Amino acid sequence: MHIVIGLFVIFAVWKWGDWRNWQKYHTVMLYFAVGNLTYNFLTAGWFLWRLDADFMPNHTTTELLYTFIIFPGTALLFISNFPEYGGKVKKFLHYFYWIGIYSVVEWAMTKTGYIEYQYGWTLGWSIGFDTFMFPMLRLFYKRPLIAYLISIPIGIFFLWYFKVPFHIPVEDR
List the chain domain ranges.
Answer: 2-161
pLDDT average, residue stretch 104-125? 95
At 11 the pLDDT is 96
Nearest CA to 79 out of 141, 9, 147 is that of 141
User: Quick check: 122 and 161 in contact, CB under 8 A?
Assistant: no
Confidence of residue 166 (pLDDT cuts 50, 70, 90): confident
At 168 the pLDDT is 59
At 158 the pLDDT is 94
Model-level pTM? 0.90
Q: Which residues of 40-64 are buried (b: 16+ CB within 10 A; e: fewer)?
A: beebeeebbbbbbbeebeeeeebbe
Confidence of residue 45 (pLDDT cuts 50, 70, 90): confident
pLDDT average, residue stretch 12-24? 94
Assign residue 86 a region (left: φ > 0; alpha: ψ between -120 and 50; beta: otherwise): left
